[in-house]
Chain A
């Protein structure tokens, strides 16, 4: 089974702190994603990566950056956390196009971040 693991389930940080959210997948997937989930808004894409060191902005990248130094690991960085970044963050991975299951994304358990 594909496993996507996020380093923390719950996190509390102070305004202005630099925050790292880590995600690791064990299925050698090329594509990895960071989504943010807010009530009434569903999941919105922050950033995604289709290869090591490659990244592209999603729909709401402001205030975030990402790092992908190794294929299995995709980090989301909040350069200076703000209270409006309090949310649930979900990491996902998927194989490249052309593979049998390339249309399905596998999700981690989520990190609930509170910025105070």
Chain B
């Protein structure tokens, strides 16, 4: 069975603060994929990043960065210099290598960035 845990239910920060969203996963698959999605108030899930299990290279995209560590089964997401527009629900998700694209989601982290 697969499992994704986002221990932080809600995070509140002031604009320009850095914030890290934690994600820990469990899977028996040797090949798997990890994702982060953002859900703004409009409701639609917006894809942010995909990382496969063979690629532990960290990634930076503008103010966003991701740290993937297989040794600790973690895939953490950092927003640098947060902005009010970053306020959303963020989901970490896992897909096994042999599935039909089924995603196992974490519980989600509600991020509120105050001006």
Contact = CB atoms under 8 A, between A and B. Distances in A.
B44 A103 contact: no
Interface residues of B, number: 25
Given A103-B50, A104-B35, A40 B100 contact: no
B107 A41 contact: yes
Contact of B44 (A35, A108, A112): A108
B102 A48 contact: yes
A5 to B, nearest CB: 11
A35 B103 CA distance: 10
A87 to B, nearest CB: 12
A104 B47 CA distance: 8
A74 interface: no
A94 interface: yes
Interface in B1-28: 4, 6, 9
Given A42-B108, A103-B101, A109 B44 contact: yes
B44 A110 contact: yes
A44 interface: yes
A105 B44 contact: no
Given A107-B44, A109-B42, A42 B107 contact: yes
A33 B45 contact: no
Given A31-B100, A33-B102, 4 more contacts: A9-B43, A43-B93, A103-B33, A107-B44
Identify the 5 closest CB pairs spanning chains A and B, nearest first.
A94-B101, A110-B43, A107-B45, A42-B105, A43-B105
